A and B are shown apart, each in its own frame.
Chain A
Amino acid sequence: MPLLRRIANLFRRPRLEREIEAEMLAHIEMRVADNLAAGMSREEARRDALVRFGNRLATKERTAAQDAALGLESVARDLRYALRQLGRSPGFAATAIVILALGIGASTAIFSAVNPILFEPLPYPHANRILTIWDTFRGERLETTFGTYFELLERSRSFEALAAFEPWQPVITGAERPERPDGQSVTASYFRVLGVSPAIGRDFQPADDVFRGPRVVILSDRFWRKRFAADRGILGRQIKLDDDNYTVIGVMPLGFEDAFIPSAGIWAPMQYDSSTLNDFNTWAWGHHLRMAGRLRPGVDIDQARSELDQIASHPQPQFPRPAWASMQSGSLVDSLQGDMVRGVKPTLLAVLGAVTLLLVIACVNVTSLLLGRGVLRQSEFAMRATLGAARSRLIRQLLTESVLLALLGGGLGLAVAFAGIKALVALGPPGLPRVDAIALDAPVFCFAFALAALVGIAAGLIPALQTPRVNLQSGLQQGARTTTGSSQWTRRTLVVSEVALALMLLIAAGLLFRSMQRLLSVDPGFSTDHVLTMQVQTAGHKFDDLVSAPGAGNAVRRRFFAQALEEVRKIPGVTAAGFTSVLPLSNDPSWVSLYGAHFEGDPPDRRHQVFRYAVSPGYCEALGIPLIRGRFIDARDVAGAPHVALISESLARRQFAGQDAIGKRVHFARAEVPDFTIVGIVGNIRQSSLALDEPDAVYLSTGQTWFADDTLSLVVRAHGDAAALAPAVRDAIWRIDKDQPVLRVVTMSKLRDISVAQRRFVLILFEAFSLVALVLAATGIYGLLASSVAERTREIGVRTALGASRADILALVVGQGLKLALVGLLLGVGGAMLAGRAIATLLFGVTGLDPTTYAGVTVLLLFVSAVACLVPARRAASIDPMQALRNE
């Protein structure tokens, strides 16, 4: 290819010049030799040779220019011409560029966000060897117990390292306001499972992770920089956490991500007492630990799975197991990556599918746009070919135009991608893993760009390839009205497929929209307006239960919460306030509140899984949970008084059908805990999500549960703006004790919004994509009809002359467009059904075949198509027959 060779020559200029010099020198020497042979003197021969040759320097320059610069010069000429051409039809240029930019930008942004989450390996050495292990409860995954971890650690051989860990938020006191960084309490092998060691200092050793072992911590790089100004003398320093002094022994490397708690800044050894595992009534047998292991080289996940199953089904006497951690249904083993993306995978795949559709629509649209333009320009090319332009020259010209369009579209697309990624991160639902790793994905951008550019170039070249085949005479004679039937047919097919694809996206978006509507109309069972919530935690040795005074810590804790509540109620504007152990629709893990309850009248070994809330007086009133019968928990229900319980309406109905539930008894697992007498029935509420109807709940009094929770959620009902009360409420709590952290201050309506954030995220993306798809489909129809009307001016003129009315012409053109839209709709319905099935897990309250959605979307699409038809149709109707015919 001459052009490429010339450009390449530019970079080899010195060598090129030497070569030209040598060639010219050979010429002169040959002439000198011939002159000598002809009998000239040496000097004469030389002078004659030089004179005949002419100006050597100028010749060399001109020759070198032929090798290199001429090519570039002609590229510049082509480029100028292309720019002028685009400038002459700015509407076409802008449309093509914007379509390309949207297609490239949107797909790059989405792939960039999804790639690190779903596909890229996690940033650990041999990350595919890291597994997570869960207990199971009725097929659902459940946190594991220290006892189970201990047994697997001792018996399993599949793992190089096995670690257990749980969230830990130590209070750093001493500063004016208590701070609570995120951290993890881990077994010594935790970082070996991830395969990363501290950058400064040392990793945890087995000797650190023993009961009453040394209090040591490892910090994250970020925490070290923020809190200790990257002081390299940090090792050995003491920091005060939860009233105790901890020694810093290491700092993790910059860029280390804790896959389990990305915000973790501090880690400490767990220090369980494995000698107490024979006593099932300890924390060691509570389901509150996560477990992960690193496979030995050569062991795969299936081998590990079967080994764990083998261990689970063969208990050994030296490893006793309580009933609730019997491993009788085995463990759930998953790769770390699979585990992390479990919750978001359907969402992300749906978005990925949607953006792929969008990219295809964009490509189809650009193709049809360029084809249409090519048809209009056929006479131009015929003219230029007649005037002597080589076919290669025309192709090059068109190529330049297409490449220019693609480059402009790609450049704008890059901007769209950057903005899109920013918006995605900002919009991203809470719980989206690896948000920090989301950045513009260059390979993906190149792929999308190359795809769109190739499509554009291919479509742009078609008219040039057709030119020599067109009879030049007819091309010139018929002017712009000429068209080849095949190109019209191709464009019709493209427009039909655009409509079909747009329908798929619109139906999916419509289904999601209806799901969201349904979800938001779900009554959570309490009132979310005018309610402020916050977590109040207790930390410090004053709450410790001492051996010398059992229960003393619990008493101190209860007193603090009671006094804080009193203080909060004094604030003007507060109408009700109460504490709860678990707040509905919050991120409080639901497992802490799932208990097996035994109701009066049940068979002895029957346990019923319920949400167990410990609530203070005033809680139900503050949240607005309605009382159906009986009474709420109130100031009477203190530690020494008869133990009382409220149950949800659903439980009353099922457990005590036909009887009065009030006065009946309910019992919870532990033998030493007395029975609770039911004193009230309250309305059902939604606990973990608006979408989940799991209403069975039992409410106990915070004063009467068997241990006092160290963290409670405060619920405050206000007269007016609940959020405005936040500082006053916080100050009230700190008036009682300034060292107790107050966290997650948020209104109930905000919590409700957060609980649907992932759905909203998907919905917004689908709405945006389908809107773009709709506009593109309309553009496609419009473009096709506009050029068709331009081509058929004469025919329409004849029709009008023969008596067709304005309405007839309108109907003719609109009918042509709507026919295409209808064919697209019919084809698209099949695709839409598939799309509906693909996003079934994201739907709520509607099926994938929701007739309202199908009807609504069809009407919308037809309406928009009709509008797109109307503009060219009106132009056709206003054609003056005299004018049209005279122009022939």
Chain B
Amino acid sequence: MAKNDLQGTLDLLVLKTLAHAGTLHGYGIVLHIQRASDELLRVEEGSLYPALHRMEQTGWIASEWAMTETNRKAKYYKLTAQGRRQLQQAEESFDQLVKGVRAVLRYA
């Protein structure tokens, strides 16, 4: 359960990043998450890749190889229509989770 939630959170972060940035390679996603969270969220960089590949197989994101601005080959990811829908759902259920957890914390 807990593992699923964390995984779900990482998925949400990746989807949101891609929704914001359009197309991005894995390194760029890591940088964006760090920057956007004010360095609060620091993922082990390698652990991003199984998640990216899983989401691609599920059909939420698509990938293609392209050149970076420093002329290096990298794999770029972008959101699919299905991924966009998933993002919306995930955001909603994350809000619910946060609200629920907050409420419990306040109650206690």
Enumerate chain A interface residues (CB-CB to B < 8 A): 2, 5-6, 19-20, 22-24, 26-27, 29-31, 33, 52-56, 58-59, 62-63, 65-67, 70-71
Shortest C-beta distance, A516 to chain B (Å), equals 63
- Give the distance in Å from the alpha carbon of A67 to the alpha carbon of B74 in the complex: 18
The reply to whether B75 and A26 form a contact with Cβ atoms under 8 Å apart is: yes
State whether B57 touches A23 (Cβ < 8 A).
no
Identify the closest chain B residue to A31 (Cβ).
B27
A-B contact pairs, 12 of them (CB 8 A): A2-B57, A6-B57, A20-B49, A20-B53, A23-B75, A26-B27, A26-B75, A27-B74, A30-B74, A52-B44, A54-B47, A56-B46
Which 4 residue pairs across A and B have the least CB separation, nearest first?
A59-B46, A54-B46, A66-B53, A66-B54
Chain B 72-101 per-residue mask, 1 if CB under 8 angstroms from chain A, else 0: 111100000000000000000000000000
A59: chain B residues within 8 A (beta carbon): 46-47, 49-50
Q: How far is the CA of A426 from the CA of B52 in the complex (A)?
A: 62
Contacts of A29 in B (CB 8 A): 72
Quick check: A26 and B50 within 8 Å, CB to CB? no
Q: Does B5 contact A (CB under 8 A)?
A: no
Known: A31-B27, A62-B50, A67-B53. A26 touches B72 (CB 8 A): yes
**Contact residue range for chain B?**
20 to 34
Whether the pair B74, A23 counts as a contact (CB closer than 8 A) is yes
How many pairs of A and B residues are in contact by the CB < 8 Å rule? 71
When the two chains form their complex, are residues A66 and B57 in contact, meaning their CB atoms are under 8 A apart? yes
**With the chains together, A24 CA to B46 CA distance in Å?**
8
In the assembled complex, the CB of A426 is this many whole angstroms from the nearest CB of chain B, namely 53
Cβ–Cβ contact A63 & B49, under 8 A: yes
Most buried by A among B45, B58, B74, B75: B45
Contacts of B53 in A (CB 8 A): 20, 63, 66-67
Q: Across the two chains, which residue of chain A brings its CB closest to B44?
A: A54
> Contact between B49 and A23 (Cβ–Cβ < 8 Å)?
yes
Candidates A2, A23, A65, A67; contact of B26 at CB < 8 Å: A23
Which residue of A20, A23, A24, A58 has the most chain B CB atoms within 10 A of its CB atom? A23
On whether the beta carbons of B45 and A26 are closer than 8 Å, the reply is: no
Q: Which of A30, A33, A70 gathers most chain B CB within 10 Å?
A: A30
Task: Tell me how far the C-beta of B96 lies from the nearest C-beta in chain A, rounded to whole angstroms.
Answer: 13
* CB–CB B45/A71 < 8 A: no
Contact B46 A53 (CB under 8 A): yes
Query: How many angstroms from the CA of A338 to the CA of B10 in the assembled complex?
Result: 73
Chain B residues with Cβ below 8 Å from A66 are: 50-51, 53-54, 57
Residue numbers in B under 8 Å from A23 (CB-CB): 26, 49, 74-75
Judge whether B68 is part of the interface by a CB distance below 8 angstroms: yes
Query: Given A2-B57, A33-B70, is A53 in contact with B45 using a C-beta cutoff of 8 Å?
Result: yes
Determine the distance from Cα of A690 to Cα of B21 in the docked complex, in whole angstroms. Answer: 90
Closest residue to B72 on the A side, CB-wise?
A26
Contact B57 A70 (CB under 8 A): yes
CB-CB nearest in chain B for A22: B73
Known A-B contacts A2-B58, A59-B50, A67-B53; A31 and B74 likewise in contact (beta carbons under 8 Å): no
A24→B44 CA distance, assembly (Å): 13
> Which of chain B's residues 36-77 have a Cβ closer than 8 Å to chain A?
44-47, 49-54, 57-59, 68, 70, 72-75
Q: Which of B25, B46, B70, B75 lies in contact with A55, CB distance below 8 A?
A: B46
A71–B57 touching, CB < 8 Å: yes
Query: Which residues of A sit under 8 angstroms from B49, Cβ to Cβ?
Result: 20, 23-24, 59, 62-63
User: Are B47 and A27 in contact, CB atoms less than 8 angstroms apart?
Assistant: no
- A63 / chain B contacts, CB cutoff of 8 Å: 49-50, 52-53
- Given A31-B27, A59-B50, does the pair A52, B45 have CB atoms closer than 8 Å? yes
Q: Within 8 Å CB of B26, what residues of A?
A: 23, 27
Contacts A27-B30, A66-B54, A67-B57 aside, 12 further interface pairs with beta carbons under 8 A come to: A22-B75, A23-B49, A26-B72, A30-B70, A30-B72, A31-B27, A52-B45, A53-B46, A59-B49, A59-B50, A63-B49, A70-B54
From residue A87, how far is it (CB to closest CB) to chain B in Å?
A: 29
Whose C-beta in chain A lies nearest to the C-beta of B50?
A62
**CB–CB A2/B59 < 8 A:** yes
Residues of A within 8 A of B44 (CB): 52-54
Contact call B73/A54, Cβ cutoff below 8 A: no
How far, in Å, is A121 (CB) from chain B's closest CB? 49
Name the residue of chain B whose CB is nearest to the CB of A61. Answer: B50
Chain A hits for B52, CB < 8 A: 63
CB distance from B7 to the nearest CB of A (A): 11
**CB nearest neighbor in B for A3:** B57
For the complex, give the distance between the alpha carbons of A540 and B3 in Å: 97
Query: In the complex, A65→B51 CA distance in Å?
Result: 11
Q: What's the nearest-Cβ distance from chain A to residue B74, in Å?
A: 4
**With known contacts A2-B57, A70-B57, A71-B57, A26–B74 Cβ distance under 8 A:** yes
Q: Are B27 and A30 in contact (CB under 8 A)?
A: yes
How far is B70's CA from A29's CA once the two chains are assembled, in angstroms?
Answer: 11
- Nearest opposing residue in chain B for A54, CB measure: B46
State how many angstroms separate the Cβ of B76 from the closest Cβ of chain A.
10
* B27 CB contact (under 8 Å) in A20, A27, A58, A70: A27
Q: Which residues of A contact B27 (CB under 8 A)?
A: 26-27, 30-31
Contact partners of A56 in chain B: CB under 8 A: 46
Given the complex, which residues of B lie within 8 Å of A55, measured CB to CB?
46
Cα A52 to Cα B26 with chains together (Å): 13
Chain A's nearest CB lies how many Å from the CB of B86? 10
Least distance between A49 CB and chain B CB atoms (Å): 9
With A and B bound together, what is the CA distance between A70 and B54 in angstroms? 9
Assess whether B25 is in contact with A26, with CB atoms less than 8 Å apart: yes
Residue of B27, B59, B68 contacting most chain A CB atoms (<10 Å): B27
Say how far A681's CB is from chain B's closest CB, in angstroms.
93
Given the known inter-chain contacts A59-B50, A70-B54, please indicate yes or no for A27 contacting B25, CB distance below 8 A.
Answer: yes
Query: With contacts A54-B47, A67-B53 known, is A26 near B73, CB below 8 A?
Result: yes
Name the A residues within 8 Å of B58 (CB-CB): 2
Chain B residues with CB under 8 A of A62: 49-50
| Closest beta carbon of chain A to B26's beta carbon, Å | 5
Interface hub of B52, B57, B72, B74 (most chain A Cβ within 10 A):
B57
B70 surroundings in chain A (CB, below 8 A): 30, 33
Chain B residues contacting A31 (CB-CB under 8 Å) are: 27, 45
Residues on A with beta carbons closer than 8 Å to the beta carbon of B73: 22, 26
B44 to nearest A CB, angstroms?
4
Q: Is the CB of B72 within 8 A of A54?
A: no
Task: A22 to B26: give the CA distance in the assembly, Å.
Answer: 12
Chain B CB within 10 Å, residue with most, of A24, A56, A65 = A24
Q: Which of B51, B54, B68 contacts A30 (CB 8 A)?
A: B68
